């Protein structure tokens, strides 16, 4: 079968590898239908690593997948051949202290699709996953909903970990697919107002369509000043969604006393720094986010019942053979790209 393999920095090739077989009675074999390209895939493509996680070439990335079940193990009962499903890329061990505490996302022996040293990704024709990772897409839900459920679940989780956004004035610093996912999840929870910042104007116009009260570009204006004009008392909550020190600083600067900063972005550097005076005097709380846990089902339900609409998320589509072009487009932030989708 065909698999899209990373072969070096900014290099990828279509390879030919054996089709995977069912091994455990709980395994499900899936024919991939759609895979979304994630910022983390791009980190591996352009840097060959995220922090200490380094790619050994050749390696297949991709973890935002949807597909059709083609074969199931003896004891599988939550999906059947022919079902269209969303795939949760996280395969926790189920036995360690973290799993037993319900923190499957920080499992000590976690295997995550497309994560170096853990598991190959899903930019290939067929994959095999445990049935726990398979979520049927029913009614009007499509493969796009399935694949978007992965980043969207991170937004749902970040909002959950923020302590709740009802009636709050929030800021989203960095409006890529994760920033947008935070916004969609916050809107579904009756947030009061959302200010958005990003350095790409096309992304800011998507934020506007989604109903933000203020959109500003830090390359063109003093965003702290601008957000202060509409939120003179400061923000209740800020979400850092781009992994940039400047965004982190602006977010803290804009929080009101008792406010909370939720850090979702993945930086390319090793250490955050922060203003001691401001964080201490205003008693700012910090919450870091590691992907998500227990949010996939709710996320799918929110798309199904219409409380979240993903219509403005996917801006580009490429056939599987042209995955490399899609990666270059996303890596260079060209053409106002939000989410690029690979179709099989």
Using CB under 5 A, list all residues that contact Zn ion. Answer: 38, 64, 92-93, 96, 99, 107
Q: How far is the CB of 291 from Zn ion (least distance, A)?
A: 8
What is the C-alpha separation between 263 and 244, in angstroms, rounded? 10
Give the residue with the Cβ less far from Zn ion, 260 or 327. Answer: 327
Which strands form 214-216's sheet, in the order they lie side by side?
214-216, 193-197, 169-173, 235-240, 255-263, 285-288
Q: Which is nearer to Zn ion, 218 or 243 (CB)?
A: 243
Residue with smaller CB distance to Zn ion, 64 or 125: 64
Instruction: Tell me the C-alpha distance between 69 and 80, whole Å.
Output: 7
Q: How far is CA 277 from CA 224, 249, 284, 307, in A?
A: 18, 12, 11, 40
Q: How far is the CB of 61 from Zn ion (least distance, A)?
A: 10
**Nearer CB in complex with Zn ion: 122/214:** 122
Shortest distance in whole angstroms from residue 35 CB to Zn ion: 10
How many residues does the structure list for the chain?
344
* Smaller CB separation from Zn ion, 235 or 239: 239
Pick the closer one to Zn ion by CB: 67 or 92. 92
- Of the pair 27, 64, the CB lying nearest Zn ion is at 64
Q: Output 113 or 223, the one with its CB closest to Zn ion.
A: 113
- Closest distance between Zn ion and the C-beta of residue 151, in Å? 5
- What's the CA angle centered on 135, arms 131 and 137, to 5 degrees? 140
Cβ 300 to Zn ion shortest distance, Å: 16
Cα–Cα distance measured from residue 268 to residue 262, given in angstroms and rounded to the nearest whole number: 18
Residue 258 phi/psi, 5-degree rounding, is 85, 0
Determine contact, residues 171/160, Cβ cutoff 8 Å: no
The 3-state DSSP class for residue 5 equals strand
Nearer to Zn ion, 70 or 93 (CB): 93
Beta strands in the chain (DSSP E): 2-8, 11-16, 27-36, 49-50, 53-54, 64-72, 84-87, 90-91, 111-112, 126-130, 134-136, 169-173, 193-197, 214-216, 235-240, 255-263, 285-288, 314-319, 339-343
**Burial of 121 by CB count in 10 Å (0-12 exposed, 13-18 middle, 19+ buried)?**
buried
The secondary structure of residue 334, as a DSSP letter, is G
Find the shortest distance in angstroms from Cβ 37 to Zn ion: 9
- Residue matched to tokens 């030919």: 16
């Amino acid at each position: 079968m065909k698999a899209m393999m990373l072969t070096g920095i900014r290099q990828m090739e279509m390879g030919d590898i054996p089709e995977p077989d069912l091994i455990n009675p709980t395994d499900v074999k899936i024919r991939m239908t759609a895979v979304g390209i994630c910022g983390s895939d791009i980190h591996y493509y352009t840097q060959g690593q995220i922090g200490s996680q380094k790619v050994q070439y050749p390696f297949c990335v991709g973890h935002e997948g949807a597909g059709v079940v083609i074969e199931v193990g003896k004891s599988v009962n939550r999906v059947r051949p022919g079902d269209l499903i969303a795939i949760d890329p996280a395969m926790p061990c189920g036995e360690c202290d973290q799993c037993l505490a319900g923190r499957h996302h920080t499992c000590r022996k976690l295997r995550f699709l497309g994560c170096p040293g853990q598991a190959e990704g899903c930019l290939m024709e067929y994959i095999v996953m445990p049935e726990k990772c398979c979520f049927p897409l029913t009614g009007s839900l499509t493969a796009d909903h399935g694949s978007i459920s992965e980043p969207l679940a991170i937004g749902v989780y970040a909002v959950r970990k923020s302590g709740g956004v009802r009636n709050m004035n929030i800021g989203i610093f960095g409006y890529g697919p994760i920033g947008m996912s935070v916004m969609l999840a916050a809107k579904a929870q009756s947030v009061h107002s959302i200010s958005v910042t990003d350095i790409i104007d096309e992304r800011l116009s998507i934020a506007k369509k989604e109903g933000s009260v203020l959109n500003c570009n830090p390359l063109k204006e003093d965003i702290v000043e601008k957000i202060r004009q509409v939120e003179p008392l400061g923000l209740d909550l800020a979400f850092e969604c781009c992994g940039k020190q400047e965004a982190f600083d602006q977010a803290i600067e804009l929080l009101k006393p008792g406010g909370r900063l939720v850090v979702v972005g993945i930086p390319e550097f090793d250490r955050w720094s922060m203003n001691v005076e401001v964080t201490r005097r205003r008693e700012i709380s910090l919450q870091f986010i590691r992907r998500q846990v227990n949010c996939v089902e709710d996320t799918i339900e929110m798309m199904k019942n219409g409380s979240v609409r993903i219509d403005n998320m996917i801006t580009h589509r490429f056939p599987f053979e042209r995955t490399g072009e899609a990666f270059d487009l996303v890596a260079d932030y060209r053409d106002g790209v939000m989410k690029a989708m690979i179709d099989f």
